[in-house]
Structure 1
């Protein structure tokens, strides 16, 4: 890669420029911002230009004698080269010569990068990711005409500092030197977010349950709903058969994991999801049956012994009694052996036939027996030939929409334990098989719907249940069909079957049937859906398996946009649509839940349209690629800054999701990410706010206010950050404590006890300044308006909430204007 020296510098051009600056000192002010000392190739010319700038900045005369004296003091004077410069005639227009100087300088810098890359490839054998990152950083710096690692002398430093003070003096808001947070009291402490700052914003993740799209959740009424369709206010079935109210919902992107249950359904969750596990053996202070709630991320770090001691578990569910018109045992018989178009049942067991006669008599009806040649008899409970009264069992089946549509009606699926056991007994006595060796039942159905209903009944009764699709063949007639086999085990001896040979034995195996080993398998980064609940946060999946901060950063983003500052938001967790909904809620003062559901009144539409117009000219750039690593983020942000110089703030949500191409160990990866973000903020001269999660260990402390060591992988983050902010809301913990107390009181029989803390629409949030490199630490209070995920400056006595949470403008419908809900945001 050796090149002729004349191709990477031009001695004559360098002389002409220096000669022109010496003889026409007024040019120094005009061109000094464009030329750096490194643009000159000849070392003496670099020294000469540096002295020219030194004299000019010191308001001294720039002359031949003054320059010579300074260079002689530094013992860097070269008389021959100095004389050669004065042989060149000065010119009045330097633009062409400066362009040529910069052109040669840029080529030399690129050549230096190329040689470094060559050395990295052949001599040091560096990783390709590292080489790409180096090349990108250096080429970007060259393109921006910046230098990395260059020294500044005191005169230049003083000049820059003086300029900084002058700018601050002219600024209207004396307390803010960077990007305003939007909050007066916080700005007073921080002076805003300044160029080059790395700001860590840390808060506890909500104690939510987050699963992949399509995961079925059991509601309190027994219906099942995909997790993405759950909404605020829904009641889920708790582990103790009491309702759990959905307090908030969320969605985002995170590393996902499969939870593989040895004896249960598999389900997919994010790494922050809380697993609810039950201990399977006694050991020291740990007792069999103890419940442990642990995040997936923490679980996978545990030993094999720990994992073998804690199992996934399921519970039986009790529903409220509902009125029914057909005995559940009869319904089970008919579903198993009945004619789908009538009330006829085919069965030869004496116990079943006796029951049919007894049931008919209790209804004042009669049994009609039908016997076909070579076939088992049919039995039908009817009014008789003439029909003596109005009640008809067949008509009741018809009212339940069961004729030619076999399924278990909802009011039977979600009725008392006794009714569900009776219905299951009828199914077993008609269509079930008892495996005495395995001590389990099997029911095979052609109808997938009915098979799934049976599985739900068994799951809700706490049995270990499986549903398998299988292929059935009849060779004689060359028939192939699909069948569904339901198998269930556990304390099935309580099922009140009437046929003796089908009566199950008690469960005698030491291991519990309703516990199962689990296996956690890492999956891809993907979208999750989740929610937070009241009570103990435990709810049930479809098979009755028990499962256990972006808001402030978006407020910072919102205020920056209102000040016409460009913002880049890397949303590794939340899809861009969800992020925009939150910004619209902050601006329009329309509750976020109303925007999500489209539950909007005319006044809401008016304010929504105004908000949409407000954001049209804002420079917001969102990247919601959840798989971005630190090198990719740096590439994207550099390109964005080059194209959009008005970019003044970047936000990363959040650090723990991001990966590093250079390290598989998490603490080293976070160190790479942290250092990379700090250097990038300095390079681009913008503040970068990076969100971080806190460890769950703080939940065990009495004072749950976060401290530095609570940050996940805190070492590197604490070292690199210029500012560390924590978000703490005491009302969250007080509410949780009160509800736990209420539950404990009710378990003691004190049903009159009510939680002392009612949920507020506006809460006090403490913004704890845990670290500030250039300022004080302390606490700033803000008010958090939950409906809008909006923070506002805290006023000590803000009075009535209705007077506090209000839109800036009152709604007045425009005359003769049709306001339509927009199709897109």
Structure 2
């Protein structure tokens, strides 16, 4: 009010909300409005403006405005006064946020600890960012020119033209002068959509439940190939050419053209060994020779579930499901081994075994019935009753296998299967297979699931069975299973299986691929090794150039490199880097089947990586706030960073969870750009492309193909697209060659860089002619 010219000195330092008293907030906001309209502001004009909006009395009236003007010594130190107001505002905000954090810790309202920490950290960072307000502003061109000349001199003294962090790719460094500090760099490509299926495909969840692929949601836990959970990180939906994967004596399933088959080697040959796992694009499998396809087959695995207490012995339940009376606890049998078991089981329950002779309508003797009970009449509420247990399990007149039994320990599942075999099964010694035939199709499917989960080779067929002498005919369902079935603890001597002696494994399954039609697909990205199971335990599968850049920066610059891997666990990423640097086939590294000449290269790669300052954070679904705080912490502990890599942008979470995904991605990209500027470090974020390019004859990506948000295009300083022609054209002359297309560069030219792609090492290198090895597929 004393000197209008000083307004511009404080306008960017404080806001109306920085004042504690309401009357001061009203006065400052009025001054702000008058200044915006270029109207002079003093005691009189401010009082008039306040009176016009009915707030003069709330602001203390004309007398209070006059007192403020009179009691202020001068406007000479107005910047210092503004800083005092701002500092006190920050302290009040800290007190308020601290109180909220304390209250939320005492009253979580159902929120987990991670969410509470995220909210607390975000609120504190918000205050910290406000604290920087007004600390920078216009600088005279003269001082900036001096800084620019100093930088030019430093670059002139350097050898070569790379002024930022070298990527290791000569032609790319020539076009970009390296990865520049404070730049946000986007590396984009089509995702490896090796996890998309036709509608209705049933996936095995970690709980043992079966779920149709279209019903799976982010956060769901799938059953992994090693019986550990795989968390769903994101979903994929769309249309594409679909193919049937026909399994020999297995459940057929539909996949999209981009699917990645998980296959196992079925015979030894030179360096290839039985059991070697190969994750191969479906299109590559179709283009491979007949010999290759015969050597690599689909495969299944056994599943381990945790052991839980059971209300009845699983072997007894198997006997009852096979030969029990549906409405009662009675079991029909003539086998002495079964009767001996029932007698012993009854004794262990302190109950009695009762034999009930049975006759048919013609008076002829039938198979006797055996019942385990207390042997007493009347209602005995406190006596253990098998009949009562079967009723509580909803089994009476409803034969099925309760989920508690299907998803129990291997030992309990084997006992259950043994009971089914001893009651209703047949051992075909000539073929070394068991057969169980059922009239109930749902129970037959459960028995197949049970056998599949135990790792046996299993088939289920529908057939007609009958008795010619009386003209009886019925539809039945036959389950056949083989493998190491001799470990099933059957009691009947004639039904005991011989050990599996063939050199061929029963868990390998021949497959045939048939084109279906263009149709909807449903899929997802999951964590871990991205191998999960279908309903019959078939194993299926679900970023390399940025990691190659990170390796080069960490090794050559000796600066710390931070990698946020939200898709791949840290140990898997470490194995990939060892494969890349050591030039060792990644399948050998992953399976541990290294040859003699691989070990020295592995040791060398480990030594090289151990000497770097590379740090990997594999926490899933990080927010920009979390990334920022962790990167800051790394800077404090290890000094200036050379590079930050995020794999990948679409897996990040945004604090604005209520907004749509486009808005969230916009917030994330802005946060990453702010991080790059704050820490003065290049930030590489991997990004996916949408499927628009699939519809074009030329599949090379363009800027509009960036998935979910145009804000990525706006915020990025450098955008590079990875394109491999062989992915789309199986007869491409550019097999083994990748194009790195620079679609945007804020401070440099656009162009295309050709690189050599060594798929077996997951490595990109400077292009030096075709090095594609077709022999592997022959």
TM-score (norm 1): 0.47
TM-score (norm 2): 0.50
